[in-house]
Structures are given as C-alpha cells and as structure tokens.
Structure 1
Amino acid sequence: MSAAVMLLYLLFSCITSKADEVTNFPISLSSSLTPSINSTWLSHSNEFSFGFYHTPNGYAVCVSFTAYFDRSRTVVWTANTNDPIVPDNVVMLLTEDGLVLKRTDSSETVIKIGNSSRPIGGAAMLNNGNFVLLDYLGIVMWQTFDHPTDCLVPGQFLSPGTQLFSHASETDLRKGMFRLKMQTDGNLVLYDSDSLDVPKDAYYATGTVGKGDNISLNLEIIEDVAFVRVANSSTATGSPLPFGRKWRHFNLPLLLGVSLGTAGLLVSLLVIIYCTRRRRRWHKENRQNIDKLLLKHGSLAPKRYSCKQVKKMTKCFRDKLGQGGFGVVYKGELPDGQLVAVKVLKETHDNADEFINEVASISRTSHVNIVNLLGFCSEKKRRALVYEYMPNKSLDKFIYKSCSLEWKKLYEVAVGVARGLEYLHRGCNTRIVHFDIKPQNILLDKDFCPKISDFGLSKLCMKKHSVISMLGTRGTVGYIAPEVFSRNFGVVSHKSDVYSCGIMLLHMVESKYVEKGSSGSSETCNLDRVYEHVLVQREREDDLMSEDEEESARRMLMLGFWCIQTFPMERPTMSKVVEMLEGKLQSIEIPPRPFLLSSPLQQISSFISCNSSTCTNWDSDSHPTPCSSLVGSRDTTQLQGWCQ
C-alpha cells in the first residue's frame, strides 16, 4: 500500500495552476447549441469540446476529450451530475446571465450553468480542457475547473473542500458509489458517496492531516509529455537532493506503462473497497438480525453477554468439555454460581446464519426435553452460546460398553427424545425441524433426563407447511434421511427428523446387544439379521435379558425400523412414535423391510467406537477424538480472537 501511495503521490503532485489566459471571445453572446445540430464548441486544438454528449439514456452537457489515436470521446466534466440527462428539444444559449438551457417548444428554462456577479461577455473552450465564462474585460468569472465532477485534467487541481465523484457506470453519468475529497485539513480521503466525512467511513487516505489548509491535488502534464519529480542521484555524497529539485521527461511508452500501472492499482483498490464494504454490510446485517430477535422476544429473549463476560465465566476458556464441527464447548460459571456450558463458534463468516438460526430456534422453545439457552454473545466475528450445564454430558457416552445405561433408563431416554421432537414438530408456534438428531446432540442432566441441543442446522416453517425448501445436504453422515441426499426419495420435511431418530433408536438397542453379546462380532451389527431374527421370527437376541427388557428392546427396534423407512410418507410422525413407545407392544405392527437395508449397519450410520480405557467424541464429520485429549486442552487457533 505504501508503494501505491507513493505512485499516487508522484502522479498527483500537490501544486497549483491557473487557467489559460484568454485574450479574445471564441464564443460570443447569443451563440447557441442544440443536441442534433452544432452540438459542441471545440477548443483551438480540437482536443476538447463543450456541449451535448450523447449517452444511451439521452443527452447530457459535458466537456469531453477527443483522443488523437482513436478519435473517441471521453467525458471529463458533466453538468448537474444529480440529474444530467436533458430533454431532446432544448437549446443552449450564451447570455449575460450565463449558459441557459431552454425548451424550444415552451421557452421553459431547464437548467442554468455558471453563476456570476458581473455580466458575461463571452466564453471559451480552452486547450487544457477548461470551459470558462468571461466578463467583457476577459476576466474568468466561472470555469469548470472550479467544479470538478469525476476526474482531473492536466493543469486542474482539487482545491481544499472539493471532491470527485465516480460515475454510476461508463454510460451512466450520474454520481456513483465513491468520492475522493481534498479535505481542508490537508488529508486526501476516499469515501463512500453516502457516508459522512469521518475517519471510520474512510476507505483510503493519504495520511496528510495537519499539513495545512492550502493543500491541493494536481496532475500536471507539460508539452501532452508527463513530468514527475525525481531525486538527483549525481551528487557527490550519493544522497538525493530535495524532492522536486529536478525534472525529467518521460516518453509515451513510459507514460502508457505508468497509466496501465495506475489502472491496475485502482482496480486493486476498488476490489479492496468492495470487500471492505461487503464485510461491513455483513456485520451490520448481523447486528440488525440480533436486535430484531431481542426486540421480538422482549423479556423472554436470552441474555446478551460481552466477550469479556464470556472469558470471565469460562476462566479464559480453561475447562474444555467437547468439540464439534461448529466450535468448542467449555465449562463456565455465572456470577450467581450456576454452572453453564459455553459453545464458542469458529470465527468465520460462514456460520453466521447457523448462529442466528440456533438463537432464534431455541428462543421459541420451552420444554423439559429441549436444552435451555441462557444467553449468547455476538461481537463482530466472535460468537458464543451459553447453555445450562449438563453434568452427564451427551448420550453417546452412555450407550456403548463401559458407559452403558440400564435398559429402563435407556428406554426413558428414548421416550424423552421422542417427546422433545414431538414438541418441536407440533408444540411450537412455528414448526422446527432439527436436521441433526444424533446421540452427540442429546444431552443428559443429573437425573439423565434427555435434552435436545445444537440447533445450528435447524429450519423453521409454518405448521401448515410440512415441505421444506432447502439447498444442499445438512446433518451428520449416517443420520441423514435419504430424501435430504436426493429428492428422488421424496420431499424434505419433519419426517427427516423421524429418520434420524430411528437410526438413533437402533444404535441404542444395538449397543446393548454388543455389550451383552458374547462375541461382539460384526454379525450383531447387521440390520438384516436383526430385522429377520428379532422382529420377523421373534427370536430372543439375549437369554440374559428380563421379560421387561426384552419388550423394551423389541419396541425400540420395531419403532426404529418404522422410522427409517426409505420414503418419508411411510414413516410415522413423532406424535405416533410417542404413542407407540408408551402403548402396548402388541399394538405395533411389524414394519416393512426398509428398501436401503441390504448393507451392514456401519454402512448406514457412523459407529462410535469405545473401549474400556477411553471413550471417543465424534464431530460432525465423524472423525473420532479421544475424550481424554479434550480435557484441559485449549484450541489456541479457535480462541485467538477471544483472548486478545
């Protein structure tokens, strides 16, 4: 950027200039122009013209430059940039009051160009691109150089307090999105057109504040050859003379090279401006969404915490509880002593929608089987969610091997999850589809009451609209319903959660069989075998199970197979699942064999492997991380922005 500033400094030297002396009146009073006939007044060199310029939208009054190598016209000044287009039926007259545009059919004045305290005696289009109005003594009373629009021409300067505005486009001569202002404090600053002249709204500045109120921006070219100030390298000591001591001429190829370099620099600058503006707009929209959420829920909205408060409640993120695809969960404590779990989301722009989605979704819920959101934090890219603390962590720690639950408690957990999903689908004012039901997202409190958590992928829809419009696939591999992968299986709806719940029920039962089975071989992991021998032939899978345990297992298996039916219309609703879980086993019919059941369970879902010494925590990409490695560890990359 320093090189860019130096190049601009060399090209746009802060020097002053004056207009060409005018000794005669090339354009006399009563001279006129029309859009179609004698539409311009030319300079003596024929390089500049003043008059009507044709655009795709109509005619505008402009000063334009005619390049000698292709005879094209380039606009360097535009009258009335707020609304530059004039009617076709106008005539422009040079009067003592200045230039006046009137309609030919009604003599109505359209616009007036040039205000003067003395009568105008004539006008001239000068060779340097300056159009001037003169009194009868030949003194310049008004000139376009004093009112720059989108560019500077050789000899013109941007005086303190004046500014350049970009055009809306190459063919639209109205004011565009950006402006370059020569401030009275000596600083040259690039702003958004609609912004205020305050430092926080500046995209680029020369940093010359305090250099005086007589600083101006000027590009000077003498004899259509470019001059830049260079250091004198011929001194005896080898040190350069003061800047501007010597002038050197540059030929046309070098001039073109400098021009192309400047154009590339400006393109890069515009890209930076665009990215910066987009990022600011993103932050603004994010703040607005949060404010709307808080305003909508009023006193029932979750509390908003600052980054400093989050760091304090987690003791600077000391105790790590787990890690998932969207962030890391830490143990914390509120000032009143209440324990909390703080999920710190990754510092990227991509998860902003997931964050707003989760806050909005949970703010709509109030159920014993839905995790309670106590508060959140949102400061620029740093975001966190504060939940009630679940001392028994997640269900995946208790359905395998050494951490297993008793059949009765496991069955109660299944009923609680089903009730929570039923509430999301039917009990809320707005239906919520979770899209990520799995054991890792089922938290257990001190009494092993299950609570559904992690609403980052959820979708909201009205109750009467069961079909959800969704681009892409969301969820965890192994728990995603077939229709989410491919619409050939059906439409995406709340039945997609039913499929995920069914896979989880089968996992819960399968884990008990693996625990009590003697071999623990892959045969017990085959859904075809479980379906055929346990459900169809009603064989006992384990002789050590009591009659009540066998009934609970068979009920969960039957409901699991009902829930994972390939086509959504064949699956029950969560209300029906709750009814069958709490009803009699004899009332449940044997489900049809799912169409996608011809592969082992580990090909349908992602197993969570355990052994006696360590339990593994799986993220949303199904990559295991030993739980022992998470305790007391800190992800410094994740927390880099929080701990500064």
Structure 2
Amino acid sequence: MWFDKIPDKTIVWHAQVNTTTGLVPDGSRVTLTIDRGLILTDPRGQELWRSSLDSGSVSRGRITDAGNFALLSEDSETELWSSFANPTDTLLPTQSIEVGGNLSSRRTETSLAKGRFRLRLGDDGDLQLLVLNSKSLAETDEYFSYYSSKTNDPSNPGIQLVFNQSGYMYVLQSNDSRFYIKDEVPKSSSDYYHRAVLHFDGLFALYYHSKGQGNNGLGDNRRPKCQCPEMFSLVDSSDEYGDCKPDFKMQTCGAEDSKTADVNAGVNPYEFIRLNRTKFPTSDYGKYANYDEELCKASCLSDCFCAAAVFRSDQVCLKKKFPLSFGQRSLDGDSDTFIKVLNRAADVPSTGKKGKNRDWLIIGCSVLLGTSAFVNFIFVALYSKKRLKQARDIGATSTAIESNLRVFTYRELVAATGDFMEELGRGAFGIVYKGTLKVNSDSEVTVAVKKLDRFAQEDEKEFKNEINAIGQTHHKNLVRLIGFCNEGQNRLIVYEYLPHGTLADYLFRRQRPSWEDRRRIAVGIARGILYLHEECSEQIIHCDIKPQNILLDENYCPRISDFGLAKLLMMNQTHTLTNIRGTKGYLAAEWFRNSPITSKVDVYSYGVMLLEIVCCKKAVDLEDSVILIDWAYDCFRQGSLDDLIEDNLVEIDDMETVEIYVKIAIWCIQEEPGLRPNMRIVTQMLEGVVQVHDPPNPSP
C-alpha cells in the first residue's frame, strides 16, 4: 500500500515475504479466501505469504482513508486481520503498537525483506530500538538496544505506543500519563500527511508531507552518513553502508610481530588513529583507573592483544579486543577511541610466513535516532579473516578445477538470479536461488545458485569442501557443478537446475509416489554414495545424507547434492576424527562418542532414508510421536510390516521386496559400525545379487 497523492511512490505497508529482496517473481498472484484471508503464491502455486487469521470466515476486504486494510467477518464489522495490527516498517496516524508489537526495518534501501532493526514495545512497557544479530536476523537474537523510552516503571509501565490523528507520538502509560517521543508541536494534519518510518539503517524518523506543496519534512542533511575510519576502505565502493577492510596488515601475537619490532630497531611498528568523541561500550577486556591519555595509549601499544583503547574523561582507560562492536560518536561524547594501525613512518617488511598474516574487517553502519534531539551512532564490528591464507587456498582450488568449472563474477550471478529473487530452498550454510545463464545469443540454461550466508572461518571450509568434493565428480546420481564465485566476501556455487525439487517434497506429499519409482530412487542413491566412497580418487564421506539433500531431475532420477559437510579421505585412509556434522535423526552413534568417523556414517544415514522411502514417513514424526527406526524394527520383529505401508495395495502385492528393503535398512542402522555393510554390499542387496539375512536388534 502507498500514498496515492504523493508524487513519489511512498510505500506504507507490504507483505514481508521471506526472500532476499522481499519481492516475488513475475506471475505471482494474490487471492482472497474465506478461511485464510489473503494468500500470496508464486507462479508454481507455492504459498509465499498469507494473512494470519485466528478464527472466523472472511467475507470482504476494506481499505480506509487512514491507510488501514482490514479483512472483515461474514456477519459483522469485526476485523479478522488488518494491516494496522500487522505493521511492517511504517506507522500512520491513528495506528498504535500494543505491548509485544514491533516495527521491522527493511534489509536494505531497496530490499523489502526484514532487516536487522526493530522498534518494540516490550512486555515491561519500555519502548526500545533494537539491533538483531546481523547473520541470523532471528527475533530472539537481540544484539543490543540503542534507544529506550525508560517507560518500564513497574508501578506505571507503558501499555501502548500511540500515533494519533494530529501527528503526536507517545507511549501511553498505565495511569494515562504520556511520554512524548517528540516534544514539539507537529504540523497540522489538515495540511500535511504524516508517517513514521524505521529505516533500513536504524533511523526512526517522523515525516510530514504537504498536501499542497509536495515537500518532505526531513532533508538530506538530517540523514546519517557512514564512512570508514582512516586507513580503512569499503570492500564495495558502491555500498556506503557495507563492510570496511583495512589497508594494512593488522597486529598478531605471533613471532613475526616480535621480529618486525627488532628489524625496526626499537621503532614500534604500530600507531593509533584517533576517533574523537567516540566510545565502545562493549568488548573491553581491561579497565584501568587514574590513567592519562598517553599512559592509556602506551598500555595498548605494548599489548599485542589490544586492538583499540578508549580513554574517558573520568581518567578511565578501556582496552578492547577484536571484534569491536557498537561504536558511538556524539557531539557531547566524553570518550575518545584510538584504533591501532600500522605505523606509516616505519618501513615494516613482510615475513612472508604462511598462516600468520591476518586481516580484519570493519562493518560500518550509522543510526540517526529522533527524540527531542538527534544523536549520531556509528556501529563498528571487526572480525578476523585470514584473507591471505584464503587467497592461497581458494587460488589452489581454482587452479585445480578451473579447467572443468567456470569462475563467475558476483555481478554475473546477481544478474542471472534477478538479484536473488526466487528462492528454491535453504540449509545450514546458505540459500539456493533459481537463475538463468545465457549459453549463447539464442539459448539459455536454468541453474541453481547456492549463496553462502555466513563468512566465518568454518564457512570458508564448507565452501572449499563443496568445491573440492564435487568439482571433479561425474556420476548420473550426483548433482553436476557448473561453476563458482569467490569474490571478496561472496561465496556462491552454481549447479545444474533440477526441476522436480527434493526427495523430501516427493516422499512426504499427500499422494504417495509409486512403489516402482521409489525402488528405482533407492537404488540410484545407493549407487551415487558407492561412487563417492569407492570410485573417486579421494574417498568422499558426504556426512549429511537425507531426503532434503537428494534432488530429482526431469525423469525423477535422484541426484545427491549439498556437499558442504563432506569429509575427504585419501584412499589409504580408513577413518578420521571430526566435529559432529549432519542432521538429527540421520546421525550414527559414533558422532556422539568421539569415535573415528568412517564411510559407515553415510551407510547409517542411508538406512534411515531407505525406511523413509519404503514408508513415506519422516524419520522423526512429532505429530504421531514416532521414531521411524524404532517402529520399523518393532514391525519387523513382530511380523507386521503391513503396518509400515498402511495397507497400500501396490506394496502389499510386493511384500517380499518391502521386507528385503526393511531388512537392508535395519542392517544399515546398526549401532555398531562394524555390523553395517558397506555401500557396495548395500547396492548388491538392493539389486538382488546378495542374499539378505535377518538383521539383529540395531540398538541392543
């Protein structure tokens, strides 16, 4: 919804769709239904968003001149759902927020997806502006609050945030007193349109727009400005709110820093850049009273762990480690911050040692907060990246496989996916989007682009694992890798697009797939795992075999995908030690025993999935309180396998094969790895080449 009489399209409400941009693909549609209200679906008919109704039947929708769109009941004027009760990033006059309600910022200036800032009236009555964890953006992962109305007095708490018809905004308290967000008298509502917006950068602003003249009330000079500190520069020069990278080598506590100091004959290789009236309230590891500024700086300079020092006007010195976070700069600030940088006057040679060079990133974001006065905040978070080591590692990966794979630029993949418009699925390490690549001027090919959404060191490892594991594999039951992108912080993998989705979607739909198709899929997956275990130059343990990681091509042929957790072994290795990987319900017992991990963990996962293929039931069914592996063994032991297939006639006509498959699965899920067959034997049992004996209790 938007203002109709303002020249520029000013959106005041939108459906918050769970995509990167908050937009939906062409061909999507909105439908008004009796039982669910508004439903937004994509061209394939999949639901993207809907209005949440607690009860009642919808008869019609109505929009008011105040900007509220409501769904009304069949027999009265009762509102079953309304946009005013479900706001996005904007409040309009006559709209209010109840206790527990909130506004959500956009992700970026152009993306309508939920961002990292919230305006919330808490259960204690306090109105707060909050920052969420920038990676998960989960409502429960609140990082900190940067504004508070302090209306949380237990004897007189805030009970409602009101934006009234006249343009006043205040927190209404339990004794009917009012805490005004802005004291000054607003422009007349008869002459001006009003709105309040929580912007993508954390700015919460009150706007007015003349009904006659057409000018906004908040000029550009009131907007926050972001910039990198001296000796840091933007990773992406086109994104002023993005990450900053250092233009020098940061200090470590390794031997190379000691040698550097010796080479310079006593000249300290590091100095400070000064940020006036700036403080960092969090992340200090040392606090010293009765220090002067020079002593504070000297203490940090001599400490290899110290990344920055904050000196307060009360003679307190605070030493900070990376990552620095929530830096605040204000005109009346009482602190100065000194960030340690490479000494520009010192000629510091590089040691060239592997694995020792470390870089840091600064994430910069400014927030302008409006009450009676405006205060600028600069958020700075720094975190370690061994970028030189990454460059060597990824460079080696590229050299090894670039003859088979295409290296894409990030810009190419943005264009191919329409700015990551259509989401196909998501997992622990990234989101997969649909894209289109031009083969030549006359033809194009559809692809799936996996975008890693986290950039910690372990995620870099996942990226390299997936590239290494699947880059040179060629098997009809494995997803084909087309190329990848490793540009700046962007890690993306481009696969062939498989039109029939995941095996999970195929198995667990209402209409049970044919038994013959399921048998063929089970054998195909087994052959793909066998190829990984025995027919590659390096044995590959997938570590996360499950229906969600099996894709189906145009002929419903299964393809194993998602090698982000894969563990590679040389052919003369038999086992490895590693941290727990995989998914609940598919994990073998050795993951929890700190035991050596072998290819038998994939055999276990396959056994669980084989039971799912036979029964068309999930490994863990919370609705029916069923653990599939336990239920399947009970049915086998009691001779009641027909309970597993729920009287489906096709399977009943082939109970001999059903029993064989269940017995194979029980052999695969033996708690003792030594009792499990390898995938070659599993494949031979599925194909009828090897006799299948009755298995023992898998969990004695």
TM, length-normalised to structure 2: 0.46
Q: Measure, in 2, the Cα distance between the counterparts of 1:505 and 1:167.
A: 51
1:262 counterpart residue number: 297
**Against the structure 1 CA distance between its residues 282 and 534, is the aligned structure 2 distance closer, same or farther, given a 3 Å change threshold?**
same
Deviation per residue, 1:600-634 (Å, 9 max, x gap): xxxxxxxxxxxxxxxxxxxxxxxxxxxxxxxxxxx
Residue 312 in structure 1 maps to residue 405 in structure 2:
no
* Residue pair 2:617, 2:628 contacting (<8 A) in 1 also: no
Per chain length, whose mean CA-contact separation is higher, i.e. which structure has more relative contact order (CA < 8 Å, sep 6+)? 1
Which residue identity does 2:466 align to in structure 1?
A: E
Question: Of 383, 407, 413, which residue of structure 1 is paired with 2:515?
Answer: 407
1:467 counterpart residue number: 575
Q: Measure, in 1, the Cα distance between the counterparts of 2:488 and 2:653.
A: 54
Question: Of 277, 282, 291, which residue of structure 1 is paired with 2:358?
Answer: 277
1:590 counterpart residue number: 694
* Residue pair 2:357, 2:388 contacting (<8 A) in 1 also: no
Q: Measure, in 1, the Cα distance between the counterparts of 2:666 and 2:493.
A: 35
TM-aligned CA deviation for residue 468 of structure 1: 1.2
Q: Measure, in 1, the Cα distance between the counterparts of 2:427 and 2:618.
A: 28
1:387 counterpart residue number: 495
Residue 398 in structure 1 maps to residue 506 in structure 2:
yes
Question: Of 356, 370, 375, which residue of structure 1 is paired with 2:478?
Answer: 370
Residue 176 in structure 1 maps to residue 283 in structure 2:
no
Q: Residue 616 of structure 2 aligns to a residue in which SS?
A: helix
Q: Which has the larger radius of gyration?
A: 1
Question: Of 335, 338, 341, which residue of structure 1 is paired with 2:445?
Answer: 338
Q: Residue 681 of structure 2 aligns to a residue in which SS?
A: helix
Q: Measure, in 1, the Cα distance between the counterparts of 2:602 and 2:613.
A: 17
TM-aligned CA deviation for residue 575 of structure 1: 0.4
Which residue identity does 1:334 align to in structure 2?
A: L
Q: Measure, in 1, the Cα distance between the counterparts of 2:655 and 2:497.
A: 33
1:42 counterpart residue number: none
TM, length-normalised to structure 1: 0.50
Q: Measure, in 1, the Cα distance between the counterparts of 2:479 and 2:500.
A: 13
Q: Measure, in 1, the Cα distance between the counterparts of 2:477 and 2:252.
A: 58
Which residue identity does 1:507 align to in structure 2?
A: E
Equivalent residues in 2 for 1:470-619, closer than 5 Å = 470=578, 472-487=579-594, 491-511=596-616, 522=624, 527-534=629-636, 537=639, 540-541=642-643, 542-546=646-650, 549-583=654-688, 587-595=691-699
Gaps of 5+ in 2: 1-250, 276-288, 309-320, 322-339, 343-355, 361-383
TM-aligned CA deviation for residue 347 of structure 1: 3.5
Q: Measure, in 1, the Cα distance between the counterparts of 2:642 and 2:510.
A: 23
TM-aligned CA deviation for residue 540 of structure 1: 3.3
Q: Measure, in 1, the Cα distance between the counterparts of 2:265 and 2:435.
A: 50
TM-aligned CA deviation for residue 299 of structure 1: 1.6
Deviation per residue, 1:18-56 (Å, 9 max, x gap): xxxxxxxxxxxxxxxxxxxxxxxxxxxxxxxxxxxxxxx
* Residue pair 2:477, 2:559 contacting (<8 A) in 1 also: yes
The aligned length equals: 357
* Residue pair 1:169, 1:176 contacting (<8 A) in 2 also: no
* Residue pair 1:327, 1:344 contacting (<8 A) in 2 also: yes
Q: Residue 299 of structure 1 aligns to a residue in which SS?
A: coil
Deviation per residue, 1:544-603 (Å, 9 max, x gap): 423554233222211110100001100000000000000069x2111111116xxxxxxx
Question: Of 391, 414, 423, which residue of structure 2 is paired with 1:287?
Answer: 391
Q: Residue 400 of structure 2 aligns to a residue in which SS?
A: helix
Q: Measure, in 2, the Cα distance between the counterparts of 1:168 and 1:312.
A: 43
Q: Measure, in 1, the Cα distance between the counterparts of 2:615 and 2:680.
A: 24
Q: Residue 545 of structure 2 aligns to a residue in which SS?
A: coil
* Residue pair 1:168, 1:177 contacting (<8 A) in 2 also: no
TM-aligned CA deviation for residue 363 of structure 1: 1.2
Deviation per residue, 1:442-462 (Å, 9 max, x gap): 011111111111111111111
Q: Residue 330 of structure 1 aligns to a residue in which SS?
A: strand
**Against the structure 1 CA distance between its residues 330 and 556, is the aligned structure 2 distance closer, same or farther, given a 3 Å change threshold?**
same
Equivalent residues in 2 for 1:92-241, closer than 5 Å = 175-176=260-261
Q: Measure, in 1, the Cα distance between the counterparts of 2:422 and 2:252.
A: 56
Deviation per residue, 1:2-29 (Å, 9 max, x gap): xxxxxxxxxxxxxxxxxxxxxxxxxxxx
Q: Residue 434 of structure 2 aligns to a residue in which SS?
A: strand
Q: Residue 698 of structure 2 aligns to a residue in which SS?
A: coil
* Residue pair 1:524, 1:530 contacting (<8 A) in 2 also: no
TM-aligned CA deviation for residue 485 of structure 1: 1.2
Q: Residue 396 of structure 2 aligns to a residue in which SS?
A: helix
Which residue identity does 1:381 align to in structure 2?
A: Q
Which is helix-richer, 1 or 2? 1
CA-based RMSD of the aligned residues comes to: 3.7
Question: Of 353, 359, 364, which residue of structure 1 is paired with 2:461?
Answer: 353
2:564 counterpart residue number: 456
**Against the structure 1 CA distance between its residues 528 and 258, is the aligned structure 2 distance closer, same or farther, given a 3 Å change threshold?**
closer
TM-aligned CA deviation for residue 511 of structure 1: 1.9
**Against the structure 1 CA distance between its residues 306 and 540, is the aligned structure 2 distance closer, same or farther, given a 3 Å change threshold?**
same
